[in-house]
């Protein structure tokens, strides 16, 4: 048996289209060799290729004129916040306008939708739904809490020094306008409900979930990214809190385990304590139990002005 002719380097390590192979001089007979797999119409991959979502999405986008990557696939490529059960999803979602024939490809979840040009963008050569449109597309599938967390990340104001941008991906008004353009989309009722509960200022999903837990307990809505000294740009801030009650609440995630971050956190908390605030520091264990005991501590503090519950020991500083 003759060894197949080597493929051009551009085709040897990832999925590719029939058009791309032709452009590089690869004959149709070479595409039938055993070292290649025919994925679907006009799309091939090396037989030993290890799945990579971005590469697969790019090839799918190239071979699907008029279509765009959407839903869970778009959320993952945008590095948007998804619940754990979807965060490693390898689903391939592709949307097309209703005016075009529906996509029928093996391994592809197809959608026929109505979308405007501003809801689709091109990123790294991939036609893909915007973060905002992706949020709306996922409204049918995500729980209300997960949809709020996803939305909070879209409207949060970024820190330019760390993220290279100073503007949010969208605003509440922008998302409301988007929802208003699609009154008949499945999931739009949940999207409207989420909009009423989304807030600018949540830097992580646990912060959003804590805020929602406080609302479920009928507690006053906390301020977000509360500055100790509002008039100072470099003032220490708390993730959320109650200024009138001098209660600062911090959620310290995994990156707070680093020594440098712990030093910074302690200095931040000391600044609040020195000003007479109580600092409540919550961790992943609190998230795992749905912030139940933390909500109890916060409720007690708002009623009495201080925390004396035994559970407070170890993560509540009273200055």
Confidence at 25, pLDDT banded by 50, 70, 90: confident
Integer CA distances (angstroms), 23 to 11, 12, 28, in order:
11, 15, 12
Residue whose C-alpha is closest to residue 282's, from 271, 293, 266: 293
**CATH T-level topology, domain 202-319:** Endonuclease; Chain A (3.40.960)
Pairwise CA distance, residues 8 & 170, whole Å: 42
Tens digits of per-residue pLDDT, 9-18?
878 777 888 8
Spell out where 33-188 has E strands: 36-40, 43-46, 68-69, 92-97, 108-113, 120-123, 126-129
Examine the pLDDT at 266 and tell me if it is beyond 80: yes
Boundaries of every domain in the chain: 1-50, 51-200, 202-319
- CB of 153 closer than 8 Å to CB of 83: no
Local structure of 247: helix, strand or coil: strand
Handedness of CA 113, 119, 122, 123 (dihedral sign): negative
Local structure of 317: helix, strand or coil: strand
Pairwise CA distance, residues 282 & 115, whole Å: 41
Cross-strand bridge partners of residue 251: 282
Relative orientation angle of helices 172-181 and 188-197, to the nearest 10 degrees: 160
- CB of 85 closer than 8 Å to CB of 153: no
Cross-strand bridge partners of residue 113: 97
Mean of pLDDT over the chain = 88
Q: 25 is written with which tokens?
A: 């001089």
Record the pTM: 0.81
Q: 239 is written with which tokens?
A: 């993730």
Tens digits of per-residue pLDDT, 65-120?
899 999 999 999 999 999 999 999 999 999 999 888 877 777 889 999 999 999 99
Q: Report CA dihedral (311, 313, 315, 319) to the nearest 10 degrees.
A: 130
pLDDT of the residue at 306: 55
Tens digits of per-residue pLDDT, 211-240?
999 999 999 999 999 999 999 888 999 999
Residue whose C-alpha is closest to residue 126's, from 68, 53, 51: 68
Q: Report CA dihedral (291, 292, 294, 299) to the nearest 10 degrees.
A: 130
How many other CB atoms are found less than 10 A from the CB of residue 301? 23
Tens digits of per-residue pLDDT, 277-301?
999 999 999 999 999 999 999 999 9
More confident residue, 19 or 57: 57
Q: Report CA dihedral (105, 107, 113, 117) to the nearest 10 degrees.
A: -90
Examine the pLDDT at 169 and tell me if it is beyond 70: yes
pLDDT of the residue at 161: 77
Cross-strand bridge partners of residue 265: none
Match 């004129």 to its residue by tokens.
65
pLDDT of the residue at 318: 41
pLDDT of the residue at 319: 41
Examine the pLDDT at 259 and tell me if it is beyond 70: no
Q: 228 is written with which tokens?
A: 């100790």
Local structure of 3: helix, strand or coil: coil
pLDDT of the residue at 312: 44
Integer CA distances (angstroms), 258 to 206, 213, 225, in order:
19, 28, 22
Q: What angle do CA 143, 91, 168 make, to 5 degrees?
A: 55
Q: 117 is written with which tokens?
A: 């040009």
Tens digits of per-residue pLDDT, 27-79?
888 888 888 877 777 888 777 777 789 988 998 998 888 999 999 999 999 99
Tens digits of per-residue pLDDT, 148-159?
999 999 999 988
């Amino acid at each position: 048996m003759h060894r197949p002719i080597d493929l051009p380097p551009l085709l040897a390590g990832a999925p590719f289209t029939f058009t791309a192979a032709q452009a590089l001089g690869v004959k149709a007979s070479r595409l039938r060799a055993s070292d290649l797999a025919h994925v679907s119409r006009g799309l091939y991959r090396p037989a030993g290729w290890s799945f990579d979502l971005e590469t697969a999405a790019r090839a799918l986008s190239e071979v699907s004129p008029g279509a765009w990557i959407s839903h869970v696939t778009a959320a993952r490529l945008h590095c948007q916040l998804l619940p754990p059960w979807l965060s490693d999803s390898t689903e391939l979602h592709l949307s097309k306008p209703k005016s075009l024939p529906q996509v029928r490809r093996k391994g592809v979840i197809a959608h026929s939708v109505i979308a405007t040009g501003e809801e689709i963008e091109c990123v790294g050569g991939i036609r893909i739904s915007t973060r905002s449109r992706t949020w709306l597309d996922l409204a049918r599938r995500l729980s209300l809490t997960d949809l709020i967390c996803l939305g909070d990340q879209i409207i949060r104001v970024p820190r330019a020094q760390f993220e290279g941008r100073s503007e949010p991906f969208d605003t509440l008004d922008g998302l409301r306008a988007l929802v208003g353009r699609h009154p008949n989309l499945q999931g739009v009722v949940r999207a409207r409900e989420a909009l009423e509960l989304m807030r600018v200022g949540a830097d992580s999903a646990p912060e959003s979930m804590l805020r929602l837990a406080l609302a479920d307990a009928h507690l006053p809505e906390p301020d977000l990214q509360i500055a100790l000294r509002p008039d100072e740009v470099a003032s220490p801030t708390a993730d959320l809190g109650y200024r009138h009650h001098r209660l600062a609440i911090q959620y310290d995630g995994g990156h707070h385990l680093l020594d440098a971050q712990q030093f910074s956190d302690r200095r931040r908390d000391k600044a609040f304590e020195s000003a007479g605030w109580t600092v409540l520091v919550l961790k992943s264990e609190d998230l795992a139990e749905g912030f139940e005991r933390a909500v109890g501590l916060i409720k007690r503090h708002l009623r009495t002005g201080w925390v004396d519950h035994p559970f407070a020991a170890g993560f509540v500083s009273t200055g």
